[in-house]
């Protein structure tokens, strides 16, 4: 019953992403000859070098990656991505946007902000506006020594190296600033202020810690068995419950404080989690 509402919400995210990215491109970057990273950056470089329409290049360069990644993405994601990329190309071609500012620093930063927000919103809606990650995913399946993030980094280094020759050193440096701004905003849009952190706690007071997490913080926990005595101090090899929980980064300081109050010697390991689903992830409302 919730499927139509979900699809409508996805469509809103994608449309908002299209207009945000188009605004960042036309109102900031294009007039100053700055580029972004990824496939969008390649399209902008080619448009600048050969005086070709950017809207056409975005379609021509992006869509083959979506087609190649069809099996990994799935039909629904691929169709959304094709429509999103086509929508971005159409908006760039027909919708007028004002040139906001001649200031180069503001152009680089806010151009990146709107592009990053646009790509992130489209991804929240289940689509992509840039085929870079699809391309990196496909290549990484054949080059097992390189991760997707490594390939994206190498790809963007090549783009900005070419930009030095095609656009000039200053334009390339400003373009790198645009890319960094876009990457940070993209991460924020996808993860938000409630970015999750996994926390593993090893303590002799595991039951008391479990109660505080579940009753005071309103979070779920997982308990699994461990055994002490493998460290430098050589304690007896005693069975010990290990507590695992997932919290937001805003809740992390409070969690660390209550654990230290219960057991100052507790061993705490934390690590970033890009996404979490199921369980008691969202904090319960307190009545």
Distance separating alpha carbons of residues 105 and 28, to the nearest angstrom: 10
Encode burial over 260-286: b for 16+ CB neighbours within 10 A, e otherwise.
eebbeebebeeeeeeeeeeeebeeeee
What per-residue confidence (pLDDT) applies to 272?
A: 79
Q: Which tokens go with 194?
A: 């409630």
Class of domain 196-273: alpha beta
Residues spanned by CATH 3.30.70.120 within the chain? 196-273
Phi, psi of 263 (to 5 degrees): -145, 95
pLDDT means per 10 residues, the chain with 287 residues, are: 68 95 95 91 92 92 83 79 93 94 95 94 88 72 63 86 92 94 87 75 89 84 78 64 82 84 90 64 40
Give 17's contacts (C-beta < 8 A, 6+ positions apart).
Answer: 84, 117, 118, 119, 120, 121, 122, 123, 124, 125, 127, 129
Give 286's contacts (C-beta < 8 A, 6+ positions apart).
Answer: 218
What per-residue confidence (pLDDT) applies to 69?
A: 72
Residue 200's DSSP bridge partners are: 244, 269
Distance separating alpha carbons of residues 53 and 60, to the nearest angstrom: 11
What per-residue confidence (pLDDT) applies to 286?
A: 31
Q: Which tokens go with 102?
A: 């001649």
* CA proximity to 218, closest of 197, 246, 190, 192: 246
DSSP structure class, residue 212: I
Angle of helix 132-140 relative to helix 38-50, nearest 10 degrees? 120
Q: For residue 27, give Cα distances in angstroms to 31, 42, 97, 123, 200.
A: 7, 19, 6, 22, 46
What per-residue confidence (pLDDT) applies to 233?
A: 56
């Amino acid at each position: 019953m919730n499927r139509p509402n979900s699809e409508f919400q996805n469509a809103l995210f994608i449309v908002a992403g299209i207009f945000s990215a188009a605004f960042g491109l036309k109102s900031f970057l294009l007039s100053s000859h700055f580029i972004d990273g990824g496939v969008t950056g390649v399209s902008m470089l080619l448009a600048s070098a050969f005086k070709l329409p950017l809207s056409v290049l975005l379609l021509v360069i992006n869509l083959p990656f979506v087609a190649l990644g069809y099996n990994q993405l799935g039909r629904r994601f691929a169709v959304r991505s094709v429509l999103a990329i086509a929508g971005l190309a159409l908006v760039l071609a027909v919708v007028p946007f004002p040139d906001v500012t001649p200031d180069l620093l503001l152009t680089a930063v806010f151009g990146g902000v709107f592009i990053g927000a646009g790509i992130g919103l489209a991804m929240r809606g289940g689509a992509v506006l840039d085929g870079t990650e699809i391309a990196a995913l496909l290549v990484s399946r054949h080059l097992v020594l390189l991760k997707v993030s490594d390939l994206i980094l190498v790809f963007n280094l090549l783009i900005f190296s070419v930009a030095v020759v095609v656009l000039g050193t200053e334009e390339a440096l400003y373009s790198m600033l645009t890319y960094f701004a876009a990457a940070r905003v993209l991460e924020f849009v996808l993860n938000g202020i409630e970015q999750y952190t996994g926390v593993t706690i090893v303590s002799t007071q595991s039951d008391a810690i479990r109660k505080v997490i579940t009753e005071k913080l309103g979070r779920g926990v997982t308990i699994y068995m461990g055994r002490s005595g493998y460290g430098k101090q050589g304690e007896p090899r005693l069975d010990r419950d290990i507590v695992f929980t997932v919290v937001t980064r805003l809740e992390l300081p409070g969690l660390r404080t209550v654990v230290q109050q219960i057991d100052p010697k507790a061993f705490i390991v934390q690590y970033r989690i890009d996404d979490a689903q199921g369980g008691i992830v969202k904090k319960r409302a307190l009545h």
